[in-house]
Amino acid sequence: MSDYYDVLGVAKDASQDQIKKAYRKLARELHPDVAGPDAEDRFKDVSRAYEVLSNPEKRQSYDMGHDPSAPGGGAGGGFGFQDIFETFFGGGQAQRGPIPRSRRGQDALVRLDIDLSEAAFGVRREIQVDTAVVCGTCSGSCCRPGTSPRTCDVCGGRGTVQRVARSFLGQVMTTAPCAACQGFGTTIPEPCAECAGEGRVRSRRSVAVEVPAGVETGTRIRLTSQGEVGPAGGPAGDLYFEIRERKHEKFLRRGDDLHCTLEIPMTAAALGTVLELETLDGVESLDLRPGTQPGQVLTLKGLGIGHLQASGRGDLNVHVEVQIPTSLDDEQADLLRQLSVLRGEERPEGHVSSAHGGVFSRLRDKLAGR
pLDDT tens for 35-68 read 766 777 888 888 888 888 888 888 887 887 777 7
Residue 15 has pLDDT above 80, yes or no: yes
Separation of CA 131 from chain center: 17
Of all helices (H) and strands (E), which one includes residue 210?
strand 200-211
57-61, 259-263, 326-330: the lowest-pLDDT one: 57-61
Confidence of residue 361 (pLDDT cuts 50, 70, 90): low
- The pLDDT of residue 93: 41
Crossing angle of helices 40-53 and 56-63, in 10° steps, is 100
Q: What is the predicted pLDDT for the residue at 44?
A: 83
Alpha-carbon dihedral of residues 97, 99, 101, 106, nearest 10 degrees? Answer: 160
Phi, psi angle pair for 220, to nearest 5°: -115, 135
DSSP state of 234: B
138 is in an annotated binding site: yes
Q: Is 195 annotated as a binding residue?
A: yes
Of 178, 180, 192, 181, nearest in space to 232 by CA: 192
pLDDT score for 48: 86
Q: Is 143 flagged in the annotation as binding?
A: no
- Give pLDDT, residue 85: 44
The whole-number average pLDDT for the span 249-265 is 95
Domains in the chain, please, with CATH?
A: 1-72 (1.10.287.110), 79-246 (2.60.260.20), 252-367 (2.60.260.20)
**Is residue 94's pLDDT more than 60?**
no
| Average pLDDT of the chain, as a whole number | 84
**Separation between Cα atoms, residue 46 and residue 28, nearest integer Å:** 11
260 is in an annotated binding site: no
In the three-class reduction of DSSP (H, G, I as helix; E, B as strand; rest coil), residue 365 is classed as: helix
Strand partners, 323: 265
Tell whether 142 is in a known binding site.
no
- The DSSP H or E segment spanning 82 is helix 81-89
pLDDT tens digits, 288-325? 999 999 999 999 999 999 999 889 999 999 999 999 98
Of 280, 290, 235, nearest in space to 258 by CA: 280
Share of the chain above pLDDT 70, in %: 81
CA distance 237 to 230: 8
Q: What secondary structure does DSSP assign to 127-194, as a single string? A: EEEEEEEE-TTTTTS-B-TT---EE-TTTTTSSEEEEEEEETTEEEEEEEE-TTTTTSSEE-SSB-TT
Contact 201, 192 (CB under 8 A): no
Q: Regarding predicted confidence, which is higher, 360 or 117? A: 117
CB atoms within 10 A of CB 273: 16
192 is in an annotated binding site: yes
The predicted structure's pLDDT at residue 314: 96
Percentage of the chain lying above the pLDDT 90 cut: 55
Span of 97-106, 139-148, 343-352, 356-365 with lowest mean pLDDT: 356-365
Answer yes or no: is pLDDT of 165 > 50: yes
Return the pLDDT at 81.
Answer: 43
